[in-house]
Amino acid sequence: MPVRKLKEYLDERNIRYVTIHHSQAFTAQQIAASAHIRGKELAKAVIIKVGGKMAMCVLPASYMIDLNLLRQVTGANDVELASELEFKNQFPECEVGAMPPFGNLYGMDVYVAGILSEDEEIAFNAGSHTELIRMAYQDFERLVKPKVVRFAHKLAM
């Protein structure tokens, strides 16, 4: 099970977390509804390419990436979304599209939308389409050491 590796990583570092099981869901908004979590509190991981190099963006489920803002904060001229085909082998123990926001474990730079840092806790995919992990945002930031920047806008509902 994909979540095992992540739980071992968190347990080895004495991080407190809760595992949330939910019915199978594939989009961040479906997951939030299935797990009864507000879209702002569910962090989704989106893979991008910055100058051809894979990186991870972590943002609330109810937000979308603004590539122009991302170009500004990275200083790169070439920033684009990566396709699933391009990154699926990067996360071998995860179901495609359910990777946890720990890009540091996969050799990727991680950019976090500043809005997430305002929450005490975040929840995120744990490597499958049926499990989430909820943990303190401060613990997440301490482990991942992401670049916390502004690169996302709230989705129009």
Torsion sign (Cα): 93, 12, 113, 79: negative
Instruction: Return d(Cα 49, Cα 40) in angstroms, integer.
Output: 24
Which residue type sits at 97? G
Structure confidence at residue 36 (pLDDT):
67
Which helix (H) or strand (E) element contains residue 130?
Answer: none
Query: Which DSSP category does 36 fall into?
Result: T
pLDDT values of the chain reduced to their tens digit, one per residue, 157 residues: 457 888 999 999 999 999 988 777 777 777 776 776 776 778 999 999 999 999 999 999 889 999 999 999 999 999 999 999 999 899 888 888 889 999 999 999 999 999 999 889 999 998 888 889 999 999 999 999 999 999 999 877 5
Which residue type sits at 29? Q
Instruction: Using alpha carbons, select from 67, 44, 43, 47 the residue that is nearest to residue 55.
Output: 47
What pTM was computed for the model?
0.91
Structure confidence at residue 5 (pLDDT):
81
Structure confidence at residue 2 (pLDDT):
57
Residue 66, helix vs strand vs coil? coil
Instruction: Return d(Cα 149, Cα 16) in angstroms, integer.
Output: 25
The domain defined by 3-117+131-154 carries CATH number 3.90.960.10 = yes
Instruction: Return d(Cα 99, Cα 91) in angstroms, integer.
Output: 7
